[in-house]
Amino acid sequence: MPTPKIEIIGMPLDLGADRRGVDMGPDALRNDGLMAALHALGLEVEDGGDVPLPPRPTEVNGRPNLKFFNEIVSACLALKERVRDTLQAGRFPLVLGGDHSIAMGTLAGLSVRHRKLGLLWVDAHGDFNTDETTLTGNIHGMSFAAALGIGNADLIASMAQPSAATPATSVLVGARDLDPLEKINLKNSGVTVFTMHEIDALGMHAVMERALKIVTAGTESVHLSFDLDAIDPNDAPGVGFPLKGGITFREARLIMEMAAACGKLGSLEVVELNPILDRQNMTGKLAIDLIATALGKQLL
Catalytic residue among 23, 32, 99, 100: 100
- Active-site choice (23, 251, 272, 278): 272
Whether 229 is catalytic: yes
Catalytic residue flag (residue 289): no
Burial class (CB in 10 A: 0-12, 13-18, 19+), 155: buried
Active-site choice (125, 131, 232, 278): 125
Beta bridge pairs of residue 273: 239
Smallest Cα–Cα separation from 121: which of 66, 169, 155, 76?
Answer: 169
- Amino acid in position 115: R
CA distances from 235 to 63, 162, 252, 276 (A): 36, 37, 10, 16
Residue 140 known to be catalytic: yes
Reply yes or no on whether 7 is catalytic: no
Which is the catalytic residue, given 7, 71, 127, 182?
127
- Selecting among 50, 229, 251, 278, the annotated active-site residue is 229
Question: Which residue type does 248 have?
Answer: T
Based on the residue annotation, tell me whether 127 is a catalytic residue of this protein: yes
Residue 205 known to be catalytic: no
Confirm whether 272 is a catalytic residue: yes
114 counts as catalytic:
no
Catalytic residue among 114, 140, 251, 257: 140
Q: Quote the distance between the C-alpha of residue 9 and its chain's center.
A: 13
* Candidate list 14, 50, 99, 123, residue with the active-site label: 123
**From 14, 23, 99, 227, the catalytic residue:** 227
SS3 content of the chain, % helix, strand, coil (to 5): 40, 20, 35
User: Any idea which residues carry the catalytic annotation?
Assistant: 100, 123, 125, 127, 140, 227, 229, 272
